[in-house]
Amino acid sequence: MNETIKFYLAPMEGLTGYVYRNAFHRHYGGADRYFTPFIANKKLSRRELDDILPEHNAGMNVIPQILTNRAEHFICIARELSRYGYAVVNLNLGCPSGTVTARNRGAGFLRLPEELDRFLDNIFTACPLRISVKTRIGVESAGEWEALLKIYEKYPVEELIIHPRLLKDYYQNKPDLNAFAAAVKTGRHSLCYNGDICTSEDFARIRREFPETVKIMIGRGVLKNPALIRQLRETADTPDPSPAGMPPAPSSSHATSAPDRLRQLRAFHDDLLEHYLGVLSGDRNTLFKMKELWCYLGNGFTAPEKYRKAIRKAEELRQYTIAVSALFRAEKIITEESAGYRTNPL
Ligand X SMILES: Cc1cc2nc3c(=O)[nH]c(=O)nc-3n(C[C@H](O)[C@H](O)[C@H](O)COP(=O)(O)O)c2cc1C
Which range touches ligand X (CB under 6 A), out of 7-15, 177-185, 263-271, 278-286? Answer: 7-15
Selected from 195, 248, 300, 304, the binder of ligand X by CB under 6 A is 195
User: Which distant-in-sequence residues (6+ apart) come within 8 Å of 16 by Cβ?
Assistant: 9, 10, 34, 35, 36, 37, 219, 223
Nearer to ligand X, 38 or 320 (CB): 38
Q: Which stretch binds ligand X (CB under 6 A): 45-53, 54-62, 194-202, 226-234?
A: 194-202
**Burial readout 298-327 (b: 16 or more C-beta within 10 A, e: otherwise):** bbbbeebeebbebbeebeeeeebbebbeeb
Query: To which H or E segment does residue 122 belong?
Result: helix 113-126
Contact 262, 292 (CB under 8 A): no
Q: 19, 62, 71, 95: which one contacts ligand X (CB under 6 A)?
A: 95
Q: Please list, in sequence order, all residues whose beta carbon lies within 8 angstroms of the beta carbon of residue 288, skipping any fewer than 6 positions away.
A: none
Residue 37 or 226: the one with the smaller Cβ distance to ligand X is 37
CB of 340 to ligand X, least distance (A): 19
Q: How many residues belong to the site for ligand X (CB under 6 A)?
A: 21
220 binding ligand X? (CB under 6 A): yes
164 binds ligand X (CB under 6 A): no
Query: Per CB under 6 A, does 94 bind ligand X?
Result: yes
Neighbours of 47 (CB within 10 A): 12
Determine the interface stretch with ligand X among 4-12, 176-184, 245-253, 261-269 (rule: CB under 6 A): 4-12
Query: ∠ at Cα 91 (89, 97), nearest 5°?
Result: 135
Interaction site with ligand X (CB under 6 A): 10-13, 15, 37-38, 65, 92, 94-95, 134, 163, 194-197, 218-221
